[in-house]
Amino acid sequence: MTTAAPPRIELSELGPIAQLRSGRLVRRLVQLYAGLLLYGFAIALMVRGHLGLAPWDVLHSGLTKHFPIDIGQALVIVSFVVMLAWVPLREIPGVGTISNAIVIGLSTDAFLAVLPTPHELGVRAGLLVGGIVLQGVATAAYIGAQLGRGPRDGLMTGLARRTGRSLRLVRTLMELTVVAIGLLLGGVAGVGTILYAVSIGPLSQALLPPLLVQTGNPSDRPLEKNL
């Protein structure tokens, strides 16, 4: 008995101008910004759940303990610092890259301003699970729009290409590093951090095919499953 192969997932490797000219732009822009706003909402849910944050958000929350900034502002700052590493890696940002760096951070702080802080454990657990699931949807949405990788995604793919290591290994090492730094800074980690780490990859992978907007570019190449 044989099992069906998983669907082939292809992302275009276009420059920023070509991304905008590759068709279905309105659909892709709407999907991009909906995904980014949803991502900010999902982060806010996890923050209010107070059961642990995603690895990069552990770092962002740690920075808020030492600087007069909110977690969303920390996210924006770190995003642009990460993008500096794109230069030697020769990664090319797109409109989605810049939007990712700004919209997610601003929307996170906006949603945190209106979301209450629950005390019941069951409600907090629901916020945690909801935040992780919605981040999976949001990740698939903004990647599927094919308007440029997020700052952290580009750093991961650039390092993998330069070092010849797998995306799985590079992503794991990156996230272990940022969690360690975040914990040293006093960031918020917990069971949610572990749950996020083991579930976000499979979630994003499963949700990407229906949200992937094909640009019709013949130079598309497969996206590795561990992105």
Residue 208 banded pLDDT, cuts 50, 70, 90: confident
pLDDT attached to residue 191 = 95
Find where tokens 């990647």 sit.
143
% residues pLDDT > 70 (the chain): 88
Is residue 7's pLDDT more than 80? no
Assigned domain for 8 exists = no
Is residue 202's pLDDT more than 60? yes
Assigned domain for 17 exists = no
pLDDT attached to residue 34 = 97
Is residue 223's pLDDT more than 80? no
CB 129 within 8 A of CB 65: no
Assigned domain for 16 exists = no
Which residues, 6+ apart, have CB-to-CB distance to 190 below 8 Å? 50, 51, 52, 53
Would you call 19 helix, strand, or coil by DSSP? helix
- Phi, psi of 223, deg, nearest 5: -90, 125
pLDDT attached to residue 161 = 83
In the structure encoding, which two tokens stand for residue 36, read together?
A: 């980014």
Query: How many other CB atoms sit within 10 Å of the CB of residue 43?
Result: 29
Assigned domain for 74 exists = yes
Is residue 19's pLDDT more than 90? no
Query: How many other CB atoms sit within 10 Å of the CB of residue 86?
Result: 17
pLDDT attached to residue 2 = 47
pLDDT attached to residue 23 = 79
d(CA 75, CA 197): 18
Q: Checking phi first, is residue 90 left (phi over 0); if not, alpha (psi -120 to 50) or beta?
A: left
Assigned domain for 7 exists = no
pLDDT attached to residue 168 = 78
Assigned domain for 225 exists = no
Assigned domain for 220 exists = no
The residue that leads in pLDDT, 134 or 224, is: 134
Q: Domain limits at 82? A: 24-214
Query: What is the tally of structural domains in the chain?
Result: 1
The residue that leads in pLDDT, 221 or 210, is: 210
Is residue 220's pLDDT more than 50? no
Assigned domain for 15 exists = no
